[in-house]
Amino acid sequence: MSRFTDKALTKIAKLTPDEIARILESQSSDIRYRSEVLDASDLGYVLVDKDGMLLYFNNTMYSLAPCYKRNVSDSVHVTKFIKDKEICSFILDSIARNLDEEYQYIHESSMYGKMDIRIYSSKVTDKNLKLFCFQDVTFLKKIRAEYLKNESLAAMTTMAAGIAHEIKNPLASISIYLQLLQRKLEADGCLKKEDAEKSLSIISDEIERLNAISVDFLFAVKPVNIKTELTSANKVAEKACNIAEPEVKERNITLVRDFATSLPNADLDPNLIEQSILNLIRNAMQAIEEGRNDGVITVHTALSGDTIKISVEDNGCGMTEEQLGKIFEPYYTTKANGTGLGLTNIFKIIKLHNGEVLVKSEYGSGSEFTISLPVPRSERYRIATSGDRA
């Protein structure tokens, strides 16, 4: 409603019939223009009140959801407009919870075939009303799948070249020590125990190194089927700390837990996130020099806006600017026996959770790796009442 119309209605008793007619005509035109704009939109809109009564919908809805085809006016319940019981249940539940949420479903359209539809619910100015937006994300999901496929192929090409380079060194060592054993055997007619044990020990180590390279490579290139569930990030972090604690104590390092209270649940795969945290703790252990008695690793959890953060901080050797720029590259490692795929795999896991991995480091002072995970829409109501540190 325009400001002029709004103001005129406050003085309607003083208006002439012609002035009232012009106001009504102006208002009717305004509504018609808005309806035409919304009907031309690719998005479907449904406006309902707190009782689920239908106040408005645009014509796009008929192509995005199973609706009754007969003319539906306002002042009917939403279940008399949308046929699908699960969609109606989502709408009514969202009204009851008064939350901004989302829901996805497959719609079989006679014109467009199978469509992936996403519904977003959102509050409007009037607290007794709620707007639901329907969006066809079929094309977006297809583009995303193609992008991930091409990204995966590019990464696989890079890693294939890397693994070819990485396996050369252990294979060369195995070949050299086998030749040494053969020469000693030919020269002396027998092998001394200490000579055999030394060579066989090195050969065994190199075989283990080849196996580690192969295992990490296979994990990096094969599709990961994540099984997410709403769970506590604190519980996952605690479990990782419990597993790592014996190793940490053996190195005379202190492991500190600094967990935020009242974190909202995260939508994550507990096993994969636990493994990622555990790997970061082990990386932190290796960054703290042997023999130190003041080594500290701190595992933090925190809430920052609509993001849950899990970080692993150490007071180890830290990294240079050059090292920081390469740490997520496949086969880059600063460790004598590292495969260079550990952080690459962590990065892959967190990306599959729509999260990020960030790192801060100062050479000689230590590093901090932070996993950021989005708070699910269904859990965001807890953010407003959370007093956790950011």
Please, which residues bridge with residue 47 across strands?
A: 56, 131
* pLDDT reported for residue 154: 66
342-352 helix and 270-287 helix, angle to the nearest 10 degrees: 150
Tell me whether the CATH fold assigned to 41-136 matches the one assigned to 137-223. Answer: no
Instruction: Give the confidence band of 389 by pLDDT, cuts at 50, 70, 90.
Output: very low
Range with the poorest average pLDDT among 19-23, 56-60, 71-75, 353-357 = 71-75
pLDDT at position 311 over 90:
yes
Q: Is the dihedral of CA 342, 344, 349, 354 positive or negative?
A: positive
CATH number corresponding to 41-136: 3.30.450.20
Q: Select, from the ranges 73-87, 202-216, 281-295, 305-319, the one with the highest average predicted confidence (pLDDT).
A: 305-319
| pLDDT of the residue at 188 | 78
Q: Which two tokens stand for residue 347?
A: 């990065």
- pLDDT recorded at residue 165: 65
Q: What is the pLDDT of residues 30-74, one digit of tens each?
A: 666 566 677 778 889 999 999 999 988 988 888 889 888 766 666
Q: What is the mean pLDDT of residues 87-99?
A: 87
**Do 268 and 229 contact (CB within 8 A), yes or no?**
yes
Parallel, antiparallel, or unpaired for β 296-304 and 254-258?
Answer: parallel
d(CA 81, CA 118): 18
Q: Which of 339, 348, 329 is nearest to 152 (CA)?
A: 348
Write down the mean pLDDT value for the chain: 80
- The more confident residue out of 336 and 345 is 345
Using a pLDDT cut of 90, give the percent of the chain over it: 25
Mean predicted confidence (pLDDT) in 339-348? 69
- Supply the pLDDT for residue 387: 45
- At residue 49, φ and ψ (nearest 5 deg) are -95, -175
pLDDT at 369: 94
Evaluate if residue 295 carries a pLDDT over 60: yes
Pairing of strands 356-362, 296-304: unpaired
The 10 Å CB-count burial string (b at 16+, else e) for 231-240 is ebbbebbbbb
229-271 confidence digits (pLDDT tens): 999 999 999 999 999 999 899 999 999 999 998 889 999 999 9
In this predicted structure, the answer to whether residue 142 has a pLDDT above a threshold of 60 is: yes
DSSP H helices, the chain, are 3-9, 17-39, 61-64, 85-97, 138-166, 168-188, 193-221, 233-250, 270-287, 321-324, 342-352
Range with top average pLDDT, 28-32, 190-194, 268-272: 268-272
Please state the domain extents for the chain. 41-136, 137-223, 225-390
Q: For the residues 165-185, what does the mean pLDDT come to?
A: 83
Higher pLDDT, 145 or 106: 106
**Residue 18: which pLDDT band, with cuts at 50, 70 and 90?**
confident
Quick one: pLDDT band at residue 332, thresholds 50, 70, 90?
very low
At 385 the pLDDT is: 44
Residues 230 and 267: their CA atoms lie apart, in Å, by 5
pLDDT value at residue 346: 86
Whether residue 335 is predicted with pLDDT greater than 80 in this model: the reply is no
Residue 340 — very low, low, confident or very high, per pLDDT cuts 50/70/90? very low
Distances (CA, A) of 14 to 10, 61, 133, 177, 320: 9, 42, 41, 106, 78
Measured over the CA atoms of residue 222, residue 227, residue 233 and residue 236, the dihedral's sign is: negative
What is the per-residue pLDDT for 266? Answer: 92
CATH for 225-390 is 3.30.565.10
pLDDT tier at 388, thresholds 50, 70, 90: very low
Cα–Cα distance between 345 and 216 in angstroms, integer? 8
78 or 191: whose pLDDT is higher?
A: 78
pTM of structure: 0.52
Class assignment of domain 137-223?
Answer: mainly alpha
